[in-house]
Amino acid sequence: MKAVSIKGVSKQFKAGVTALQGIDLDVEPGEFVSLIGPSGCGKSTLLRIIGDLTKPTAGTVEVNGKPAERARRDHEYGIVFQDSVLYDWRTVAKNISLPLELLHWSRSKRNARIKEMLELVELTGFESHHPWQLSGGMQQRVSIARALSFSPSLLLMDEPFGALDEMTRERLNAELLGIWQETGSTVVFVTHSIPEAVFLSTRVVVMSARPGRVAGLIDVDLPQPRTSATREEPHFFELVTQVREQLAVAGAPLGETQEPALVEDQA
């Protein structure tokens, strides 16, 4: 059974913009797949379609063999956005426990899991802080802890480190790989950054500009576990170059660099 199975997915926004056209993609359980492409290629939209946060105009998506909506209702995935989307009125611990509350976990079970998650993202001791008392990188780690708190088999990440500085980003990349190996979950990761995609992924999906299509698949055969030394290996650079060249071929036509509206009109 595939972790994610996308068949013939297209998405047209109400304004008539075609964000995605004829996307076919399978993700195996345990894979770390990055979606990369120029602005406006619909990679975030594709991630939202996998999460059933928006509906495709055509095609089907299955997560763990279930239709996307069923999968969402069954809590098959956790999601991390670029903005950490933590609630200011909740402490770090309470933010992490939000999905657990919605799943009606008992208090003691919740507390035990919060402790585990704080250890996983190395934030032990910060449980009673409020989100705005943390740095951007720490906020994003809380967001990851929350997404993983109920042990979903799939983690969807929408440019989670896009707003962070380069050093923090690289550190979190390494941490994320550690978490991925520890939890064995499948990750679908949207990013703008070529080195990030190569460093993290087992497979990189290069997408073309609007309408978004799969322009190429690149297997990343860098050995695990990957460390900061991985970033200095010649093969790492070869893969980065390969992704860059694919992107250049798939590149955005001039004057079309706007991302389409991610949230549909609810009218």
Partner 1 sequence: MSTIVQPAPRSVGRRVGRTALDWIPALAVFVLGIAAWQGLVAAFHVQEFLLPKPTSIAHAFWAQKSALWSQGIYTFKEALGGYALGCSLGILVALLFAAWRTLSSAFMPYAVAANAIPIIAFAPIMNNWFGLLNPFSKMAIAAVLCFFPVMINTLRGLTSVHPSSIELMRSYAAGRVSLFRRVRIPNALPYMFTGLKVATVLSMIGAIVGEYFGGPTEALGVKILNDSSYGNFTDAWAGIVMASLLGIAFYAVVALAERLTTSWHPSSRAFHTE
Which residues are at the interface with partner 1 (CB under 8 A)? 48, 51, 53, 72-75, 77-79, 81, 83, 85, 87-90, 98-99, 101-102, 122, 126, 128-130, 132-138, 165, 168, 171, 263
Our CB check for partner 1 shows the closer of 93 and 243 to be: 93
Q: Widest CA span of the chain, in angstroms?
A: 56
Our CB check for partner 1 shows the closer of 11 and 48 to be: 48
Q: How far is the CB of 246 from partner 1 (least distance, A)?
A: 30
Q: How far is the CB of 226 from partner 1 (least distance, A)?
A: 19
Q: Which long-range contacts (CB under 8 A, 24 or more apart) does 201-205 make?
A: 201/32, 201/33, 201/34, 202/31, 202/32, 202/33, 203/31, 203/32, 203/33, 203/34, 204/33, 204/34, 204/36, 204/239, 204/243, 205/25, 205/33, 205/34, 205/35, 205/36
Partners of residue 205 on adjacent β-strands: 35, 217
Our CB check for partner 1 shows the closer of 168 and 193 to be: 168
Q: How far is the CB of 89 from partner 1 (least distance, A)?
A: 4
Q: How far is the CB of 48 from partner 1 (least distance, A)?
A: 8
Our CB check for partner 1 shows the closer of 148 and 209 to be: 148
User: Closest by alpha carbon to 94, among 114, 109, 80, 77?
Assistant: 114
CB proximity list for 10: less than 8 A, separation 6 or greater: 18, 20, 21, 22, 23, 56, 57, 58, 59, 211
From CA 214, how far away is CA 181, in angstroms rounded? Answer: 27
Q: How far is the CB of 40 from partner 1 (least distance, A)?
A: 19
Our CB check for partner 1 shows the closer of 168 and 230 to be: 168
Instruction: Name the residue with tokens 């998506």.
Output: 61
Our CB check for partner 1 shows the closer of 72 and 244 to be: 72
Q: How far is the CB of 247 from partner 1 (least distance, A)?
A: 27
Burial class (CB in 10 A: 0-12, 13-18, 19+), 70: middle
